[in-house]
Amino acid sequence: MAEMKTAAYLCAGCGIGDKLDMKALAKVAQREGKMALVREHPFLCSDEGVATIRADFANEAVTHVLVAACSRRMKAEAFHFPEAAVGRANLREGVLWLCAEGAEHDEVRQEMAEDHMRMGCAELKKLKIPAGNPNAAGSRRLLVVGGGISGLTAALESADAGYDVLLVEREAALGGWAAKMWKRTPSREPYGEPVDTGVEAMAKRASTHPRISVMLGATVAETGGAPGRFKVQIRRGAETIEETVGAIVQASGFTTYDLAKLPEFGGGKLPHVVDQAGFEALARQAAGAPLKRADGRPVKNVVFVQCAGQRDTTGKHLPYCSGHCCGTSIKQAMVVKAADPEASAMVLYTDLRTPGMGEDFYRSAQSKGITFTKGSASAVEGTGDGARVRFRDLILDEDAAADADLVVLATGQVANAGINLDEWTATVTEAEKGSEAAQQKKVELQKISVLNLTYRQGPDLPQLKHGFADSHFICFPYETRRTGIYAAGPTRRPMDMAQAVEDAAGAAMKAIQAIENAALGRAAHPRSGDLSYPIVRLEGCTQCKRCTVECPFGAIDEDERRFPQFNESRCRRCGTCMGACPVRVISFENYSVDSVGAQIKAVDMPDEDSGKPRILLLACENDAYPALDMAALQRRTISAFVRVIPVRCLGSVNTIWITDALNGGWDGVMMLGCKKGDDYQCHFVKGSEMAHYRLSKVDDTLKQLGLETERVVSHEVAITDIERLPKLINDYVAQITAIGMSPMKGFA
């Protein structure tokens, strides 16, 4: 390995040289930062500037580069030097644009810039050039689990992109729910009529595609491994075969909400009350002719009851809207009228939702004579050969009733997402204690598993609060907490066919990206392209298991000696394990406890009488740091007493950083991370939650040091908080100023 040689490159462009003393910054880099080579340039991201850096690789044997210019989020391509370790000192957005204008601020602005140089130099010397994952694997085959509209789309899109696909479907034929439908809602203008599903053509194309292998009547018996090298056992009848795949798309679809749970609406009690799937069966049987009920009687009056067992606030039924049901009922009412213009169809709704179609489909239905009544159904009763729907008319504000030959309940979608991992963990724990009931329940749970993962966290993807497969639907859909496995279609959220097709195409693209990253030994999203991987110094490990338990992605197991065993291909490089480790033996080549700790210790700390507090800001690089950059672009200023260190995730924050900062005389520490909870926005899912939990224990440290608990705070920040964030920071600086300077400065 070549000997480390550091170099700092200072850019004077974008007004940096006009407002900052570049010569003083160069001296800081050379004398305090101990940079072997320091160069100034008027326009560093220009071809000439970049060429200057590259020339020093060849002529000066430079191995470590500090770019003192703009934010690390800017000019990433220009300053991409894979042959070197690269650090960034943010002088433009982080100092020039965030610090207030005016001669009275020149001194503190320069101090801020010089600290950024010190921090950048300190970090750089702790970085190593990432070597890439030593366990890189290159299977370019995808596994798609589920042969409905979502699975077929994912398989066809992947195959057309040049990737081999194994498509596993548990039923005897492809098509899923779409194959059971007579017509579908239109997916494009003019949104005037129901249209053919097109699923038969898709199934035929998938079955004959040279890159797609279809296994019908098959299930996934076991899934192990990691991106690029998943080992999957497929069971079909008495036969079990093992296949190697690079990534997985779970498109296991949904089931309809159980009609029997709606006895008040005649579900499971009255023969002429069906759900939307039941209506489709009647429509397929009629094949365009007038509909007949199961008893053979012609259907002349149909009432469609929306939100049956959905959007329920009592906790008894589904609390969510399934999205497709209004459009489906409109379509089915059109089928009734198309087959028999003399038949009547009424849609009873509280809110009518047709996403993506504007009101075109609804208006078309009105023109065909379909009645839309705004009302809330209270009961469905049998009346001789038919049924009567009792409801509250919300327009007339009075009770009303409608008689029908057939009542269709819009019951909604329930995801086929597999096992609820919380229930699984509790069951396994009881089974291990010897409970026979728990052992039997474990067997029953295993029957509904979709992927049968061999992960220590459980056999399926984590689920969101309503039982849908976990996905980060706010920031990047399809991503789950199992790297290389992507959820698509109604298994991850309720949706109609048009949305499912788009969803599956997106999941296929993410799976392809995972395959390519795994082949190159790189991290998957959101640090796609990162060649670093976790390194653990086992001789210092206490086997506390915090890293294995807190890893959000199931990337850490235990070896036969009970030491942590990292699966680098599953790892997202968030650093949550690094933040969890009490003995600090986990690190990455380009991010470590030392690389951040060195920055904290590098600043020039004013004495207690200076009136210049120092506030440490540990900002998540995914939301808080970009929000600061955007605030800077709008020239929204923050206090020049703040020093910002971007972190991969608040989950990576090790409490030693906070302890070191307080012992070193910092007056306050503010942590800025993403939203946590059920509607989390944390790119690494659990990072903010973990940091919040760890921070709850910092109060004891503060009290032991004789410091106020207000000196360490944490806030949730969204990337859009461009106005809120500067105010949040400035208010905190004012609060620290009112409390007073840290008494620890004298001991630093």
Per-residue confidence (pLDDT) for residue 299, from 0 to 100: 96
Bridge partner residues of 633 (DSSP)? none
Least confident of 99-108, 174-183, 511-520: 99-108
Phi, psi (degrees; rounded to nearest 5) at 613: -70, 160
pLDDT in tens, 427-467: 999 999 999 999 999 999 999 999 999 998 899 999 988 99
Q: Across residues 152-172, what is the average pLDDT?
A: 98
* Cβ 92 vs Cβ 35: under 8 Å: no
3-state secondary structure of 119: helix
Per-residue confidence (pLDDT) for residue 1, from 0 to 100: 55
Element (H, E) at 398: strand 398-404
pLDDT at residue 16 is higher than 90: yes
- Helical H runs in 685-723? 687-695, 698-704
* Cβ 126 vs Cβ 589: under 8 Å: no
Which pair of tokens denotes residue 256?
């309809």
Per-residue confidence (pLDDT) for residue 102, from 0 to 100: 80
Least confident of 98-107, 423-432, 629-638: 98-107
Element (H, E) at 166: strand 165-169
Which pair of tokens denotes residue 291?
């509909």
Give the pLDDT band (50/70/90) at residue 477.
confident
* Cβ 263 vs Cβ 381: under 8 Å: no
Task: Say how far apart CA 719 and CA 630 lie, in whole Å.
Answer: 9
Q: Across residues 265-277, what is the average pLDDT?
A: 96
pLDDT at residue 473 is higher than 70: no
Burial class of residue 382, CB neighbours in 10 A (0-12, 13-18, 19+): middle
Q: What angle do CA 523, 524, 525 make, to 5 degrees?
A: 125
* Cβ 493 vs Cβ 474: under 8 Å: no
pLDDT at residue 88 is higher than 90: yes
Residue type, 683: H
Task: Say how far apart CA 698 and CA 298 lie, in whole Å.
Answer: 72
Which pair of tokens denotes residue 4?
């480390």
Q: β-strands 344-349, 301-305: how paired?
A: parallel
Peptide bond into 526 cis (omega under 30): yes
* Cβ 232 vs Cβ 245: under 8 Å: yes
Task: Say how far apart CA 272 and CA 48 lie, in whole Å.
Answer: 78
- Helical H runs in 606-649? 624-633
Of 56-70, 355-369, 557-571, 694-708, give the range with the top mean pLDDT.
Answer: 56-70
- Helical H runs in 448-487? none
* Cβ 122 vs Cβ 602: under 8 Å: yes
Which residues, 6 or more positions from 51, have their beta carbon under 8 angstroms from its beta carbon? Answer: none
Task: Say how far apart CA 576 and CA 243 lie, in whole Å.
Answer: 32
Q: Among candidates 617, 536, 507, which has minimal Cα distance to 251?
A: 507
* Cβ 417 vs Cβ 468: under 8 Å: yes
Q: Across residues 102-113, what is the average pLDDT?
A: 91
Q: Across residues 188-203, what is the average pLDDT?
A: 95
Per-residue confidence (pLDDT) for residue 240, from 0 to 100: 97
3-state secondary structure of 214: strand
Give the domain ranges of the chain.
Answer: 1-129, 142-253+461-519, 256-415, 535-573, 605-748
3-state secondary structure of 215: strand
- What percent of the chain stands above pLDDT 70? 99
Please state, as a whole number, how many other Cβ atoms lie within 10 Å of the Cβ of residue 3.
6
Per-residue confidence (pLDDT) for residue 747, from 0 to 100: 64
Per-residue confidence (pLDDT) for residue 135, from 0 to 100: 78
* Cβ 234 vs Cβ 127: under 8 Å: no
Burial class of residue 277, CB neighbours in 10 A (0-12, 13-18, 19+): middle
Under the phi-then-psi rule, with left for phi > 0, alpha for psi from -120 to 50, and beta for the rest, what region is 358? left
Task: Say how far apart CA 670 and CA 8 lie, in whole Å.
Answer: 29
pLDDT in tens, 332-350: 999 999 999 999 999 999 9
Q: DSSP assignment, residue 28?
A: I
pLDDT in tens, 352-411: 988 888 789 999 999 999 999 999 999 999 998 899 999 999 999 999 999 999 999 999
3-state secondary structure of 98: coil
Q: What is the CATH number of domain 256-415?
A: 3.50.50.60
Count of residues in the chain: 748
Q: What angle do CA 367, 373, 378 make, to 5 degrees?
A: 150
Residue with tokens 């849908």: 468
pLDDT in tens, 677-694: 877 888 888 888 888 888
Per-residue confidence (pLDDT) for residue 690, from 0 to 100: 87
Which residues, 6 or more positions from 592, have their beta carbon under 8 angstroms from its beta carbon? Answer: 126, 578
Which residues, 6 or more positions from 680, have their beta carbon under 8 angstroms from its beta carbon? Answer: 472, 674, 686, 688, 689
Task: Say how far apart CA 242 and CA 533 lie, in whole Å.
Answer: 28
Residue with tokens 């703009």: 70
* Cβ 148 vs Cβ 251: under 8 Å: yes
Bridge partner residues of 164 (DSSP)? none
Task: Say how far apart CA 8 and CA 29 lie, in whole Å.
Answer: 7
Domain covering 1-129 assigned CATH 1.10.3470 in the classification: no
Per-residue confidence (pLDDT) for residue 249, from 0 to 100: 98
Q: Across residues 229-249, what is the average pLDDT?
A: 97
| CATH fold for domain 142-253+461-519 | FAD/NAD(P)-binding domain (3.50.50)
Bridge partner residues of 223 (DSSP)? 232, 453
Task: Say how far apart CA 652 and CA 687 lie, in whole Å.
Answer: 7
Under the phi-then-psi rule, with left for phi > 0, alpha for psi from -120 to 50, and beta for the rest, what region is 226? beta
pLDDT at residue 748 is higher than 60: no
Please state, as a whole number, how many other Cβ atoms lie within 10 Å of the Cβ of residue 706.
8
pLDDT at residue 472 is higher than 80: no
Q: Across residues 547-551, what is the average pLDDT?
A: 91
Q: Are the folds of 142-253+461-519 and 605-748 the same?
A: no
| CATH fold for domain 605-748 | Rossmann fold (3.40.50)
Q: Measure Cα distances from 503 to 290, 666, 679, 707 in Å.
A: 35, 48, 20, 51
Please state, as a whole number, how many other Cβ atoms lie within 10 Å of the Cβ of residue 474.
12
Which residues, 6 or more positions from 440, have their beta carbon under 8 angstroms from its beta carbon? Answer: none
Q: DSSP assignment, residue 195?
A: B
Cα dihedral sign for 196, 496, 284, 416? Answer: positive
Q: Among candidates 272, 238, 276, 237, which has minimal Cα distance to 257?
A: 276
Average pLDDT, rounded, for the chain = 94
Per-residue confidence (pLDDT) for residue 134, from 0 to 100: 79
Phi, psi (degrees; rounded to nearest 5) at 170: -75, -25
Task: Say how far apart CA 635 and CA 645 lie, in whole Å.
Answer: 20
Q: What angle do CA 304, 310, 315 make, to 5 degrees?
A: 145
